[in-house]
Structure 1
Amino acid sequence: MRLFHNTLSSNGRRVLMVAEQLGLPLDIIHVDLMSESERARLHEINPNGKLPVLDDDGFLLWESCAIMQYLCDITPGQQLYPQQARARADVNRWLFWGSQHFAETVSVLSFENLWKGMIGMGEPDPALVARAEGGLRQLGAVLDAHLAQRDWLVGDALSLADIGVVSPMMYLEQARLPLGDFPNLMRWFDRLRQLDIWKNTEAG
């Protein structure tokens, strides 16, 4: 299987973390998003022009959470994505929440505080930053409360839920994410950062 990826992508990283945990080898195809020709080729395999994209013997799959679920579904005996309906629905709940709310809000701060200056688009927009910080604090409070009496988002072990939600926090410091005042959330994040799947997928 091939994964079209860029090491700056937190969405791609969550796929790598799953593959690492499952012991699935992936042939990584680096896509230079600053290259017009490579962006054009990316559009040929994903009409949205975004990463990551999985190529499994001609089956092209985009959307990182769908890729994560697929990798689990083709791995017998895996423990990341439960088979029981309610447990799986609970994992899906956090995957969708992470994608639709948490990661989207983080992406605003990542762009304003990190990428905007790097690509020459000027200074952060104070109004956008303030709005996103307020939204992220609300989301952080949801996570913090949920994690008050538990080590993992779902059940008593690592699951796709944890991997899906944690990935955008790779830019905690650089994007100045206002999450440091949530002790349960940060305890969970520190636990995940100690795992080999986090350490082994850090950008070199």
Structure 2
Amino acid sequence: MAQPVKIYGIPLSQNVRKPLAVAAHLGIAVENVGCRPMDAIVKEKYPAARIPFMEDGGVVLGESNAIMIHLASKTTNDLYPEDRARRDAVNQWLFWDVAHWTPAYQPIQFERLVKQLLGLGPADEAVIEATLAKFRREAGYVDAHLKGRDWLVGNAATLADFAIGAGLTHAKAMDLPLADYPSIGAWNARVMALEGMKKTAP
């Protein structure tokens, strides 16, 4: 019997949630090994010492979006389209997610959520305000793109929606101004209603 894919990391992390949600969506058996970047098992198995990473047979792979692609490539599905143009568009969003979307909210998440959870003192409002300016720029871009669309690429959910939607996992705790972006709000409701996202909700 084939061993389940092991995905290492705490599901509270939106980046760990990404591959867990994709696996649940596709019906791929996974074992979530809860761990933090500073845990010995992480450094031992994945020298970059970051989560998530996965083990699938002899393959060890890090980076949430790369893991999602690996999982989607194991079955026939529409999450990572075979059509060249649509796959290119999905890839563009996956790179954009890492380069622009995540930096536009992650410092806010640290200040408003992580600091509180770890008792690291009050939030730095200057950091929050500076990051909110980035968030508004990127959210404006996504909101305009989503006008008249249900999904980021084509007529069905893809890895792009899982990646960028997962970034809004803690939107309420971060107090992100999503009400200013109605197209994102409607799209995010669709993303969070996907079976894989429902099964991995924190």
Say whether the fold is shared (TM-score over 0.5). yes
**Counterpart in the other structure of 1:44:** 44
The Cα shift of 1:118 comes to: 2.1
The residue aligned with 1:57 is 57
2:93 maps to 94
Whether 1:23 aligns to 2:27 is yes
Residue among 1, 6, 19 paired with 1:2? 6
The AA in structure 1 aligned to 2:105 is V
Aligned partner of 2:69 in structure 1 is: 69
Range with greater deviation from structure 2 (149-158 or 119-128): 119-128
Q: Is the 8 A contact 1:110 1:175 kept in 2?
A: yes
State the Cα deviation string for residues 84-119 of structure 1 (Å, max 9, x = none): 222111001111111211112211100011111221
**Given residue 69 of structure 2, which amino acid in structure 1 is its aligned partner?**
Q
CA distance in structure 2 between the aligned counterparts of 1:21 and 1:117, rounded to whole angstroms: 32
Q: What letter is aligned with 2:124?
A: D
For residues 182 and 189 of structure 2, the distance between their equivalents in structure 1, rounded to whole angstroms, comes to 10
The answer (yes or no) to whether the contact 1:2–1:27 under 8 Å persists in 2 is yes
The CA deviation at 1:4 is 0.9
Deviation at 1:124, TM superposition (A): 1.2
Gaps of 5+ in 2: none
Shift of 1:136: 0.3
**Structure 1 stretches of 4+ moved >4 Å:** none
What residue ranges of structure 1 are gaps of 5+ in the alignment? none
Instruction: Let me know the Cα RMSD of the aligned residues.
Output: 1.3
Answer whether contact 1:99 1:165 (CA < 8 A) is retained.
Answer: no
Does the aligned pair in 2 maintain the 1:136–1:178 contact within 8 Å? no
Using the size of structure 2 for normalisation, the TM-score is 0.93
Quote the residue 2:130 is aligned against: 131
Cα deviation for residue 7 of structure 1 reads: 1.6
Shift of 1:32: 4.5
Deviation at 1:123, TM superposition (A): 1.0
Matches of 2:134 and 2:177 in 1, distance apart?
Answer: 10
In the alignment, residue 168 of structure 1 is paired with which amino acid? Answer: G
Q: Secondary structure at the match of 1:54?
A: strand
The one-letter amino acid paired with 1:182 is Y
Residue equivalent to 2:170: 171
- Establish whether residue 158 from structure 1 lines up as the match of residue 162 from structure 2: no
Which TM-score applies when normalising by structure 1? 0.92
Quick one: which amino acid aligns to residue 113 of structure 1?
A: R
Residue 11 of structure 1 aligns with which residue?
Answer: 15
Aligned residues: 198
The answer for the alignment partner of 1:117 in structure 2 is 116
